[in-house]
Amino acid sequence: MEPQAFVALIVGVTGMAGLSLAQALKKPNCPGGPWKVYGAARRSQPIWFPSTVVDHFITFDAVDSSDTQVKLSPIAHEVTHLFWISLQVRQDEEATIIVNETMLLNVLTALKSSTSSKLTHVTLQTGTKHYMGPIFDPVHSTQLISHDPPFHENMARLPYPNFYYALEDLVQSYAPSLTYSVHRSSIIVGASCRSIYNSLVTLATYAAICRHVGLAFRYPGTKYTWEHFCDMTDAGVLAQQHVWAAVTPEAKNQAFNCTNGDVFTWKSMWKFLSELFDVEFVAFNETLEFDLVELMRDKGSVWEAIVEKHELHSTKLEEITCYEALQTVLRFKFQHVSSMNKSREYGFLGHVDTFKSIRFWVEKLRQMKIIPSYHH
Ligand X SMILES: *[C@@H]1O[C@H](CO)[C@@H](O)[C@H](O)[C@H]1NC(C)=O
Amino acid at the residue 287: T
| Stretch touching ligand X by CB under 6 A, among 48-56, 172-180, 238-246, 334-342 | 334-342
- State in angstroms the smallest separation of the CB of 46 from ligand X: 20
Q: CA torsion 53→86→68→119, rounded to 10°? A: 70
By rule CB under 6 A, what string of x and - marks binding of each residue 155-174 to ligand X? x-------x-----------
Segments of 36-155 assigned E as strands: 36-41, 56-59, 81-84, 121-127
CB of 5 or CB of 155, closer to ligand X: 155
Closest CA relative to residue 200, chosen from 126, 286, 133, 273: 273
Say whether residue 153 binds ligand X (CB under 6 A): yes
Is 90 a residue that touches ligand X (CB under 6 A)?
yes
For CA atoms 197, 192, 202, 259, the dihedral sign is positive
Single residue of 14, 20, 96, 195 touching ligand X by CB under 6 A: 96
Catalytic residues: 129, 164
Q: Taking contact as CB under 6 A, which single stretch among the options 29-37, 87-95, 293-301, 306-314 is the one that binds ligand X?
A: 87-95
CA distance linking residue 132 with residue 158, whole number of Å: 8
Q: Which of 61, 67, 77, 99 binds ligand X (CB under 6 A)?
A: 99
Helix axes 300-309, 199-213, angle to 10 degrees: 80
Query: Which of 113, 173, 285, 373 contacts ligand X by CB under 6 A?
Result: 285
Tell the smallest beta-carbon distance from residue 17 to ligand X (Å): 13
Mark 129-148 with x for binding to ligand X (rule: CB under 6 A) and - for no binding.
Answer: --x-----------------
Which positions ≥6 away from 209 have C-beta within 8 Å? 215, 296, 299, 302, 303, 306
- Cβ-Cβ contacts under 8 Å for 165 (sequence gap 6 or more): 130, 157
Residue 252 interacting with ligand X (CB under 6 A): no
Asked if 320 and 193 touch (Cβ cutoff 8 Å), the reply is: yes
CB of 142 to ligand X, least distance (A): 17
Given candidates 6, 60, 151, 303, which one binds ligand X under the rule CB under 6 A?
Answer: 151
Residue type for 375, please? H
- C-alpha 14/C-alpha 143 separation (Å) is 34
342 binds ligand X (CB under 6 A): yes
Minimum CB separation of residue 337 from ligand X in Å reads 6
CA dihedral 81, 133, 340, 12 (to 10 degrees): 30
Q: How far is the CB of 280 from ligand X (least distance, A)?
A: 14
Work out whether 154 is an interface residue with ligand X (CB under 6 A): yes
Give contact residues for ligand X (rule: CB under 6 A). Answer: 63, 87-90, 96, 99-100, 103, 131, 149-155, 163, 255-257, 285, 287-288, 338-339, 341-342
